[in-house]
Amino acid sequence: MEPSFDDVWAECEDLFAQAREQLTTLKTPQPAHVIQASVNALFRTTHTLKGMAGMLGFPRFSQAAHRMEDIFDLMRQGRLRSTDSLIETLESGIQALESGLAGLRRGQPEPDDYLHALRRRLGELEALARPPEGAVLDLTSLLDLPPDVLKALSEYERTRVTAVLLAGIPIHGIRVRLDLRTFDERLRALSEAAGAQGELISTLPLEAPEDQEELCFLLLIAAQVLEIQGLGALPGEGLEVLELADPERIPASLRSEPIALSAPAPATEAPQPSLPAGVASQDVEVLRLPAQRVEELEARLMAVAQVRDSASQVLRQLQGAGGDRPLVMMGEMETGLLEVQKSLLQMRMVKVESLFRRIEPMVKALSRDMGKPVRLSFQGGDLELERSLLGRLTDPFLHLVRNALDHGLEGSSERLAQGKAETGSLKISASQRGRNLRFDIRDDGRGFDLARIEARGIAMGLLKAGQAHSSEDLHRLTLEPGFSTQERASQISGRGVGMDVVRSEVEGMGGEIQISSELNRGSLVRLSLPLSRAVVGCLKVRCGHQDFGIPLSHVLRIQASPAGLTGGSRVEVLGEDLPMESLQACLGLPEPAGGQRLLVVLRQQGATVNASLEIALGVDEVVGRADLLLRSLPELAHAPGIMGGSLQEQGILWVLDPEAVMGLAMDSLMRRVAGV
Amino acid sequence: MSETLLLLHARAAGREILLPVSDLREVVASTAVTPLPGGPPGIQGVVLHQGEFLPVLDWTAIQGCPARLEPTVAIAVLRPRLGLPLEGLTGTVAAPVEGWLDSVEGDPWGPILAGLCRIGDRDLHLLDPDRLLAMLHRLRKGR
């Protein structure tokens, strides 16, 4: 790949991310001007993609992007009605372009038609579009403006005037006089303020008096109500609001055939000052920087933190010389530094939801194409993962979802015959487990046919006949290169390439993949991916002379014991009799002679009350709670029970992996019972 | 035209050693190593290096290491992100074309050496970072 194209690829990725956001906006009820803004943004996005593809030398991609651009153009002119089916088709189209781009980036040749699967539906959409001509559909004459001003409206603006009026939204005019020296800045401010209240259809220059250094403008705004106070006009600008067109004046016959993009906002639903995310993102400046720069900044910040720690220690030694003030100032610095570190971390992170957003349209499209109704659910979208992982995860996820629909879930009749619900279930959940982000992709389909996998494995020479093969081994076999039980590839999956690619991609990120299934009950594919950095809310405890952090997500309770307890004791916690183990024993450190009086009760994350592992962990001291910037340990230094470290004033503080510590505690307790 | 191989001449675990400069990220002044409870064998703990945790080798995990080690003055940071504590630094030397020997049979360091190199009148141990890492993995597996 040409290194100089890196920026272009990255920009394309951003454009797709924006397109997905805009499409999400279109799927939910929104005021008409928000819908219009989203459609406009999608039109611009596909237009830009078309140009970029041309620049990169991919003419067929460019043609496909052009096709999508045409559809968005019809929508923005109000010639295509926004329906669920239309949005679904557009999502599929954007998805097809995005997958196509990923393929091109991997060096795959261009397909004949990126939108082949959608060709028929796109054609139908274009046929449904209303013709642009026709006096009946041009309602600009309803605007109370001089003919020469009306002539200045572009074709697009005329169609918007028509569309909003048919949608029952009045059109207002804002006439304003602006100082020649600052008019551009003021016009922008006024346009933004007006755009926040409705759809800004046009900005028209008006004739200004010759003897004054001013320019006059007329802004056309479609809004149910326009509040003059919210426009932020300055004294001397002579701002005036005009009622240019009233939808009530439209003939009843036309009003019965609305061609608006969405239902008009109810009168009570005045546009909010803060626009929805999809719209606001157009106004937010996005900086694209090489990740290395952020890494360098983080490293420098870490060096500053080290200096701060040394200074803090010196200050403690000199305590008293300047009162408490220097120490208080150090504390403020520490808080500030952690905030900066958190902000830097957030720059690298993105919500898991954005991954889910990529999957949803594909599942819907596959469900429809394959005739298999699916109930799709997501969980854990609020968790965050590193942006770099997101890009790498999309393709493996899409493949796994395709597999689940193609091979896992049965058709309706088969499900009914088996006594299952007619609609299949596909659940995708994310959860943080220690230093890992875990994704579960669970379906309630037919599960893996292990007998068939075994037979195929033997036939391919991957397994030996006559030997017993565990369920785990057989599931794992499906991740081997070239393995497939399909004699012939289906159009969706089953080509025998993919699962091994999924595995290598996941392992390339330092992660793991596990598969399990039960015949006719369903399958679970579990991906565990290590996070290199995270901010974790922790309980700080002390054992021996060392501090440790225990993630609060797993801390059920802190309890004091009247007498010192040693590992292997039993303690009563909230009426439950729980085993107790010393943290030192879990980590291979010497246990305190007199036992421990403080207990931290841990519970497995996500476990239910009825089926959970709880254990009381003995510690010497509870120091307090803190948000810790966690850094993972390199593979060479992996230690059981420790998920990473955080730089603190006193040095490195180890953050415990609660699930692993619970495992270590159980091992230690069993050794005690066995007397070894 | 052949390129000259540059070697770092240092002292570690009581031995005169050589390390290919091409295998090094840098050599940094020694800082206190934070022990890692329950850490893998062969790793004494970590130090902070360029904002990341750097595992530091524990020479005592290698057979033939003296029971008592001299204080560390510097840490050689290998490319695969492993710190080697050094007791002294002599400088760099160009690898000689001749004078290479196999490591002495029975030397407990044999599995981590690429060979011996005669510089002046002394035979110096050329450390092989790949073999060293392989040894660490073996230690961890055998835990």
Write down all domains in chain B, each with its CATH number in brackets: 6-141 (2.40.50.180)
* Mean pLDDT score, A19-44: 84
Which residue in A295, A308, A636, A653 has the most chain B C-beta atoms within 10 A of its own C-beta, making it the best mutation to test that interface?
Answer: A636
Domains A352-530 and A533-674 share a fold: no
d(C-alpha A591, C-alpha A543), whole Å: 9
Residues A431-456, buried b or exposed e (16+ Cβ, 10 A)? bbbbbbbbbbbbbbbbbbebeebbeb
Checking if the pLDDT of A335 tops 70, the result is yes
Shortest CB distance from A637 goes to which of B32, B50, B55? Answer: B55
* Mean pLDDT score, A214-240: 88
Amino acid of residue A42: L
Checking if the pLDDT of A519 tops 80, the result is yes
* Confidence at residue A611, expressed as pLDDT on a 0 to 100 scale: 57
Extract the tokens encoding A421: 């619900």
* Mean pLDDT score, B65-90: 92
Shortest CB distance from A651 goes to which of B34, B37, B80? Answer: B34
* Mean pLDDT score, A583-591: 93
**Of 2.30.30.40, 3.40.50.720, 2.60.40.1180, 2.30.130.10, which CATH number belongs to A533-674?**
2.30.30.40
Other beta carbons less than 10 A from residue A387's beta carbon: 14
**Can you count the helices (H) and strands (E) in chain B?**
1, 11
**Binary contact (B48, A654; C-beta < 8 A):** no
Min Cα distance A553 → chain B (Å) is 22
Extract the tokens encoding B139: 């230690």
Does the CB of A637 have a partner CB in chain B at under 8 Å? yes
Does the CB of A652 have a partner CB in chain B at under 8 Å? yes
CATH architecture of the domain A352-530 equals 2-Layer Sandwich (3.30)
d(C-alpha A409, C-alpha A406), whole Å: 7
Q: Is the pLDDT higher at A601 or at A319?
A: A601
d(C-alpha B49, C-alpha A322), whole Å: 34
Confidence category of residue A605, pLDDT binned at 50, 70, 90? low
Extract the tokens encoding A521: 């009950």
Shortest CB distance from B36 goes to which of A302, A639, A647? Answer: A639
Report the chain A residue with the minimal C-alpha distance to residue B52: A631
Q: Which fold has domain A135-249?
A: Alpha-Beta Plaits (3.30.70)
Domain boundaries, chain A: 3-128, 135-249, 293-350, 352-530, 533-674
A236-250, A336-350, A480-494, B33-47: the lowest-pLDDT one: A480-494
Min Cα distance B141 → chain A (Å) is 12
Confidence category of residue A502, pLDDT binned at 50, 70, 90? confident
Checking if the pLDDT of A260 tops 50, the result is no
**Binary contact (B32, A651; C-beta < 8 A):** yes
Extract the tokens encoding A636: 């060479």
Q: Which fold has domain A3-128?
A: Four Helix Bundle (Hemerythrin (Met), subunit A) (1.20.120)
Checking if the pLDDT of A397 tops 80, the result is yes
Chain B residues bordering chain A (beta-carbon distance below 8 Å): 32, 34, 36-40, 43, 46, 48, 50-55, 80-82, 133, 136
What residues of chain B lie within 8 A of the CB of A647, using their CB? 48
Confidence category of residue A75, pLDDT binned at 50, 70, 90? confident
Min Cα distance B137 → chain A (Å) is 8
Long-range contacts of the stretch A340-343 (C-beta < 8 A, 24+) = A340/A301, A341/A298, A341/A301, A341/A305, A341/A629, A342/A535, A342/A627, A342/A629
**Binary contact (B37, A546; C-beta < 8 A):** yes
Confidence category of residue A131, pLDDT binned at 50, 70, 90? low
Q: What angle do CA A97, A100, A101 make, to 5 degrees?
A: 90
Contact A464, A471 (CB under 8 A): no
Confidence category of residue A496, pLDDT binned at 50, 70, 90? very low
| E strand or H helix that includes residue B24 | strand B24-29
**Binary contact (B43, A636; C-beta < 8 A):** yes
**Binary contact (A652, B46; C-beta < 8 A):** yes
**Binary contact (B37, A634; C-beta < 8 A):** no
Mean pLDDT computed over every residue of chain A: 80
For the four alpha carbons of A306, A331, A338 and A624, in that order, the dihedral sign comes to positive
Confidence category of residue A444, pLDDT binned at 50, 70, 90? very high
Extract the tokens encoding B24: 């090094």
